[in-house]
Amino acid sequence: MERKLPKKLNFVLTLLFILFVAFLLYLANEKLDEYVLRVVRLIAIYGVMAVSLNLINGITGIFSLGHAGFILVGAYTSALLTLSPEQKMMSFIIEPIVPWLANVHTDFLTATLAGGALSALFAFLIGWPILRLSGDYLAIASLGFAEVIRIFALNAISITNGPLGLKGIPEYSNIWWCYGWLFVTVIFVASLVNSSYGRALKAIREDRVAAEVMGINVFKHQLISFVVGAFFAGVSGALYAHWLTTIDPRVTTLGPMLTFYVLIMIVLGGLGSISGSLIGAALFAILFEWLRDLEEPFVLFGMRVPGIKGMRTLVISVIFILVMIFWQRGIMGREELTWNNIYRWLKRRGESG
Amino acid sequence: MTSPTLDLSRKPILILDQVTMQFGGLVAVDDFTAEIRQGELVGLIGPNGAGKTTVFNLITGIYHPTKGKIVFDGIDITPLKPHQITHLGIARTFQNIRLFSDMTVLENVLVAQHHKFTNPDADRILKINGKSAKRVANFWFWRSVLKVGYLKFEKEMVSKAKELIEKLGLSKFMHEKASALPYGDQRKLEIARALATDPKLLLLDEPAAGMNPKETEDLMRFVERIREEFDLTIFLIEHDMKVVMGICERIIVMDYGRIIAEGTPKEIQNNPKVIEAYLGREWEGV
Amino acid sequence: MTFFLQNFFNGIMLGGLYALIAVGYSMVYGILRLINFAHGDVMMMGVYFAYYSAVVFSLNPILSFTVAVLGAAALGFLIDRVAYKPLRKAPRISALITAIGVSFFLENLAVVIFGAIPKSFLDVFKDKSILEKTITVADARIPLLTFLVIIVTFAMFSVLFFVVYKTKIGMAMRAIAADIPTTSLMGVNVDNVIGFTFALGSALAAAGGIMWAMRFPNVHPYMGFVPGLKAFIAAVFGGIGSISGAVLGGILLGMIEIFLAAYFPSVMGYRDAFAFIILITVLLVKPSGLLGKKAIEKV
Ligand SMILES: Nc1ncnc2c1ncn2[C@@H]1O[C@H](COP(=O)(O)OP(=O)(O)O)[C@@H](O)[C@H]1O
Ligand SMILES: [Mg+2]
């Protein structure tokens, strides 16, 4: 028989947990220095990226590599909305900004929602052709579309300021915005997954043909998942832009490299697990910061070793490959960290011990 | 080709009209014409590779025929997609079991009920709680994410799923992963899942494969029971002659993509063409 | 006419380079159903091998190119053994993710070993005059280099076709592409043949990359990404799994790119986007590509 905690208890525990986390965040915001706090905020932004990609890749089984494209759309859209008209006029030096963008100026929430919405719209349009493809073709096609978006950002100078990118974006992504959006993302995605729709999405991942025969319109469901994932990717892009304060369309910032980073997070955490994505995002952010030392000069056995640039991404990629070869299920596999699962786990330990 | 047992008072529910399927140079189904009538239990037999599974794939829209027409319940379903055909009331099982292996038994059966809420014809298909299904189906996505006007339908789905699972004797596996089930039980779960879509016509592709004689016997009784209980028409591929001869009212025999004989079990047993095919080549399970 | 000829030769050259890289994708896909994401990066490593053996170890260009091609072949073989072989029985998507990881690894390895700052491939040549020579064909001045590249590409394809269609190992490759289980029953060491395929594909990609670098001399760790993606597109365009398809797809893609950019210079910046549009169109209209065989997934 399935062992379950009473619903009420479950709810109370969850509420307490959320309050506890909120309190921790409050403490962190008060006590931690700016540098550490930046990483703490980044964890939440990565979390939104990872959970949204995980909905598409891990839960629905659409192997999309286009996430950076959606993040880029969210980042640019929101930044163009929060930058003041004067700032925009000053920074667009190659070509002046198009008039319809020059004077719009909104608050951060509107800008973030607009970023998410435009990203979702892109996903809707891109989804029509690419979701008709299968497996690995879809992977390349989505990567290609992300590249097309990036090439557009590089060339549509009067909209994006081209290779110069956007600078001086206000640093609005404070701890509350970041974790607030993370909360919304997790609740939304978890609620979707734990519904009739979520089961249909998982069924598509497990066996596409059987899902179709069960009456599931596979294309439509994949499109829904893709659009929802893209919306939150756009939101994460908005948060990211207002965390970075400078964005540009290079390969290494909002290009394929970022998609790979997010992919690493969800693979490490466990493809298909929301809590895994969160753990993966946190681990990645921390590991990446921690490995920064590798690129600084350091002293080994009394010898001064010069810092080597690129060392930390190299280490990350080695870890990634090792995980794929030896530990494909990642930290959580497809399991979730729920009170029920913790309870069952404790009980089992109690019985065997 | 009308056989004496064909009860002409029943109306045909499925008509295959000169259906042909070619894969490159191979003609897997060749000029296949047949009728299944409301409430019938028809068997489809033939040697390995005769094209039986392909016929099912054509009926369910997984393949689209090179030539010919398929009509179900008065609707031309030839160009339709699998999910649309399921909406109209055809369900099937697969010869090479295709369960959602990483999902639980309960979830497998629940998935099969999802389509009722996303079906544009929901109205015609079912009444939920006496309410017009169409009203429920509108905004079903938002309902299920925001959990407003959702939970009572979820409860209904779960209780229906549990009932089906119980009927098939799979209750003890309720929360097990489908892949953890013994082979024979996986076949049963496929049937439960198919029934959960609320079909009028059920296609069973070798349901007794891998079962022992006792299980096979149970399965035969079960198929007869669900036929009554759910008011089903059943079209079944089976290589176990005992099953086919024991429960089918009418049998269609295929060889090399063509129909070579059709009739009552008795007629088929005595048909010289069939006997020749029996003796001439190795038959599955014979 | 002059303008047309110039572009025509450019198109053939670029297309030939895409084709050289595309063949490696196609052969591996034909055998393993794996998109070897790292293929473009193996090409990049090949270019660095050539650069370093010429500039640091002062080998003459021909010798350094040979070393680089062999080095890339060894690298390709090694990647298969270390990263892909353990995953032969895993879900296909796992191998693809690993391939992405390998790609990422090679790029970062290049950053660490060779540095992120771009190098000029022209440093390889002490005498740069050969790069500037031109030949006049019906009023059009075509760089000698263009001809050289076309000739070498042609020669390499001749060798490739010989290997695949006339040798024992080539036969084994084709047999495995058709059906792995029975081939291994026939006493063929499947893993060695797969390894050989990786080596062969990588060697061709390195050769393509070196010629690419003579034309576009900017050598950097991410240089393999775009040509790699485009070569993959070329392979799909022609019909993935088919070697002649890869050649045809590569040349067509090169031609289309050059001519679009030549006659519509205003869209020059978007040149890299064409390839993806072509990819999507091909996949939607004829997913099996120009020379591929249509197949319906068996259920
Ligand atoms: N998608 C497909 N592509 C190519 N050939 C197929 C496909 N599906 C079935 N076939 C071929 O069609 C023939 C009939 O197969 P099938 O219908 O599975 O036979 P049966 O179910 O009677 O054993 C076989 O020769 C099989 O190989
Ligand atoms: Mg069959």
Please indicate, yes or no, if residue B96 is contained in any of the structural domains: no
A238 near A70, Cβ under 8 Å? Answer: no
Q: Return the ligand 1 atom nearest residue B95 CA.
A: 21
What pLDDT sits at residue A240? 98
Mutate to test the pocket of ligand 1, among B53, B57, B205, B237 (most ligand atoms within 8 A of CB): B53
ipTM of this predicted complex? 0.90
Please indicate, yes or no, if residue B226 is contained in any of the structural domains: yes
What pLDDT sits at residue B12? 92
Whether B240 shows a pLDDT value over 90: the answer reads: no
d(CA A51, CA A323): 19
Tens-digit pLDDT string for chain C (299 aa): 788 888 999 999 999 999 999 999 999 998 888 999 999 999 999 999 999 999 988 888 889 999 999 999 999 999 999 999 999 988 888 899 999 999 999 999 999 999 989 999 998 888 777 778 888 887 788 888 888 889 999 999 999 999 999 998 898 888 888 876 676 667 778 899 999 999 999 999 999 999 999 989 999 999 998 899 899 999 999 988 888 999 999 999 999 999 988 888 887 778 778 888 888 888 888 888 888 777 778 88
State how far the alpha carbon of B129 is from the alpha carbons of A36, B61, C189, in Å.
Answer: 55, 31, 63
d(CA A348, CA B6): 59
Helix (H, G, I), strand (E, B) or coil at A265: helix
Query: What would the two tokens of residue B58 be?
Result: 């054509």
Q: Is the CB of B21 under 6 A from ligand 1?
A: no
In this structure, which amino acid lies at residue C219?
A: V
Whether B1 shows a pLDDT value over 60: the answer reads: no
Instruction: Give the CATH number of the domain where residue B276 resides.
Output: 3.40.50.300
Lowest-confidence pick of A114-128, B139-153, C249-263, C282-296? C282-296
Please indicate, yes or no, if residue B188 is contained in any of the structural domains: yes
| DSSP tag of B21 | E
Q: Which of A:137-196 have CB within 8 Å of B?
A: 188, 191-192, 195-196
In this structure, which amino acid lies at residue A318?
A: V
Nearest CA to ligand 1 atom 8: C298
Q: Which residues contact C1 (CB under 8 A, 6 or more apart)?
A: C138, C139, C140
Instruction: Give the CATH number of the domain where residue C206 resides.
Output: 1.10.3470
The Cα of B106 is separated from the nearest Cα of chain A by a number of Å equal to: 11
What does the radius of gyration of chain A's CA atoms come to, in whole angstroms?
21
Reported as a single tens digit per residue, the pLDDT across B81-134 is 999 999 999 999 999 999 999 999 999 999 999 998 887 665 555 555 555 666
d(CA A263, CA C8): 41
Reported as a single tens digit per residue, the pLDDT across A202-257 is 999 999 999 999 999 999 999 999 999 999 999 999 999 999 999 999 888 898 88
Chain C residue closest in CA terms to A263: C97
Ligand 2 midpoint to CA B183 (Å) = 17
Last residue of one domain, picked from the residues B129, B164, B197 = B197
Cβ <8 Å between B118 and A191: no
Q: Return the ligand 1 atom nearest residue C298 CA.
A: 1
What helix, strand, coil percent values describe chain A, rounded to 5?
Answer: 75, 0, 25
Last residue of one domain, picked from the residues B197, B226, B257 = B197
What pLDDT sits at residue C188? 79
The Cα of B7 is separated from the nearest Cα of chain A by a number of Å equal to: 30
If one counts the domains in chain B, the total is 2
The Cα of B114 is separated from the nearest Cα of chain A by a number of Å equal to: 6
Strand partners, C143: C134
Q: Confidence class of residue B286 from pLDDT cuts 50, 70 and 90? A: very low
Strand partners, B22: B27
Helix (H, G, I), strand (E, B) or coil at B198: coil
d(CA C63, CA C57): 11
What pLDDT sits at residue B279? 57
B249 class by beta-carbon count within 10 Å (0-12 exposed, 13-18 middle, 19+ buried): middle
The Cα of B192 is separated from the nearest Cα of chain A by a number of Å equal to: 12
C118 near C218, Cβ under 8 Å? Answer: yes
Please indicate, yes or no, if residue A21 is contained in any of the structural domains: no
> Containing H/E element for C112?
helix C92-114
- Are B62 and B123 members of one domain? no
Q: Which residues in chain B are closer than 8 Å to A197, comparing Cβ atoms? A: 114, 140-141, 144-145
d(CA C101, CA C78): 15
Please indicate, yes or no, if residue C297 is contained in any of the structural domains: no
Higher pLDDT, A329 or C179: A329
Please indicate, yes or no, if residue A11 is contained in any of the structural domains: no
Q: Which residues in chain B are closer than 8 Å to A192, comparing Cβ atoms? A: 144-145
Strand partners, B42: B235, B250
If one counts the domains in chain A, the total is 1
Q: Is the CB of C298 under 6 A from ligand 1?
A: yes
d(CA C105, CA C82): 13
Chain A residue closest in CA terms to C273: A148
d(CA C45, CA C38): 10
Query: What ligand is nearest to the CA atom of residue B47?
Result: 1
Please indicate, yes or no, if residue B12 is contained in any of the structural domains: yes
The percentage of chain A sitting over the pLDDT mark of 90, rounded to a whole number, equals 69
Chain A residue closest in CA terms to B151: A195
Q: Which residues in chain C are closer than 8 Å to B24, comparing Cβ atoms? A: 293-294
Ligand 1 midpoint to CA B29 (Å) = 9
In 3D, which of A207, A287, A214, A217 has the Cα closest to residue A46? A287
Chain A residue closest in CA terms to C107: A314
Cβ <8 Å between B94 and C299: yes
- Are B107 and B41 members of one domain? no
Q: Confidence class of residue B281 from pLDDT cuts 50, 70 and 90? A: low
A44 near A232, Cβ under 8 Å? Answer: no
Which residues form the domain of C233?
2-285
* Count of beta carbons in the 10 Å neighbourhood of residue A84: 12
Query: What would the two tokens of residue C84 be?
Result: 């892909």
Reported as a single tens digit per residue, the pLDDT across A76-107 is 999 999 999 999 988 998 888 898 888 899 99
State how far the alpha carbon of C105 is from the alpha carbons of A324, C210, C222, C226, in Å.
Answer: 13, 21, 11, 17
Reported as a single tens digit per residue, the pLDDT across C69-101 is 999 999 999 999 999 999 998 888 889 999 999
Which residues form the domain of B115?
101-197
What pLDDT sits at residue B4? 45
Reported as a single tens digit per residue, the pLDDT across B244-276 is 888 999 999 999 999 999 999 888 888 888 777
Cβ <8 Å between B114 and A192: no
Last residue of one domain, picked from the residues B157, B182, B197 = B197
d(CA B16, CA B51): 14
* Count of beta carbons in the 10 Å neighbourhood of residue A74: 35
d(CA B13, CA B11): 6
Please indicate, yes or no, if residue B95 is contained in any of the structural domains: no
Q: For the packed helices A256-269 and A135-155, what is the interaxial angle rounded to 10 degrees?
A: 140
Q: Is the CB of B54 under 6 A from ligand 1?
A: yes
- Are B78 and B111 members of one domain? no
Please indicate, yes or no, if residue C295 is contained in any of the structural domains: no
The Cα of C297 is separated from the nearest Cα of chain B by a number of Å equal to: 9
Chain-centre distance for alpha carbon A280? 11
Reported as a single tens digit per residue, the pLDDT across A293-323 is 777 777 777 777 777 778 888 999 999 999 9
Chain A residue closest in CA terms to B202: A213
Helix (H, G, I), strand (E, B) or coil at B150: coil
> Containing H/E element for A193?
helix A175-193
Strand partners, C213: none
- Are B85 and B45 members of one domain? yes
Mean pLDDT over the full length of chain A: 92
Strand pairing class (B258-263; B250-255)? antiparallel
> Which of A317, A323, A326, A329 is the best residue to mutate to test the C interface, defined by the most C CB atoms within 10 Å of its own CB?
A317
Measured in Å, how far apart are chain A's first and last C-alpha atoms?
21
- Are B1 and B85 members of one domain? yes
Q: C169 — phi, psi (to 5°)?
A: -65, -35
d(CA B245, CA B250): 9
What pLDDT sits at residue B6? 55
* Count of beta carbons in the 10 Å neighbourhood of residue C25: 27
Total residues belonging to chain B: 286
- Are B213 and B283 members of one domain? yes
Query: What ligand is nearest to the CA atom of residue B21?
Result: 1
Cβ <8 Å between A130 and C101: no
